Amino acid sequence: MVKVANEIITKAQQGDLKAFEDIYKTLFGYVSNVACRMVGNMEDAEEVTQDVFMKIHRHLKDFQFQSSLSTWVYRITVNSAINHLKKESQKKNNVPYIDDISLQVQEPSLAHQEYQEKLISYMLASLNPEQRAVIVLRGMEGLSYEEIAQTLGIPINTVRSRIKRAREAMLALKKEVSQSELQ
């Protein structure tokens, strides 16, 4: 996890714009990466990232040092991404059809890695926001179950059950994609 010195946080809480700029520069890539993995595309990730830093700026004075700043920022980022996904899903159904991502293995120009990345993106897009959050935090960001529970503010058993359900959904979807490619 990315670390920000407590002195910088304290200065930023007191209104020091240079200190906030340091926090921004330190955490931007981190927030942007998590947002992109959560929402699935750069355009929406930029919107979420901007929203996150506005919330950080507005509420940094409320940060109590009970957890690391990165954990606090993680929670803001994941919650902002979940809210964005919910808002977008109300506008339209965001889950792509298998035909939209199905790649012909026979295409010589398509690398196996590109196929895997598209498949993972498709599977993540098919999960509900809560499941996507735990999968991103565990599988892509490497957080422990305890850290995920703390970040999302949920019990550890809820983390376990969400991860289990998300993995089951992803495996079923992978099987479905594989079968459709064979036909």
Residue numbers in the chain where pLDDT is lower than 50: 94-110
Radius of gyration of the chain (CA): 18
Q: What are phi and psi of 66, to 5 degrees?
A: -80, -20
pLDDT of residue 160: 95
Domains (range + CATH), the chain: 1-94 (1.10.1740.10), 95-183 (1.10.10.10)
Tell me the C-alpha distance between 98 and 134, whole Å: 23
The helix/strand/coil state of 155 is coil
Largest CA distance in the chain: 62
In this predicted structure, what is the pLDDT of residue 96?
46
How much is the pLDDT for 73?
93
Distance from chain centroid for Cα 45: 9
The predicted structure's pLDDT at residue 145: 92
Question: Model pTM?
Answer: 0.69
Residue that has been written with the tokens 């700043």 in this structure? 69
Q: What is the pLDDT of residue 93?
A: 52
- In tens, the pLDDT along 61-112 reads 999 998 889 889 988 998 999 889 888 776 655 444 444 444 444 444 445 6
Q: Which residues contact 149 (CB under 8 A, 6 or more apart)?
A: 155, 156, 158, 159
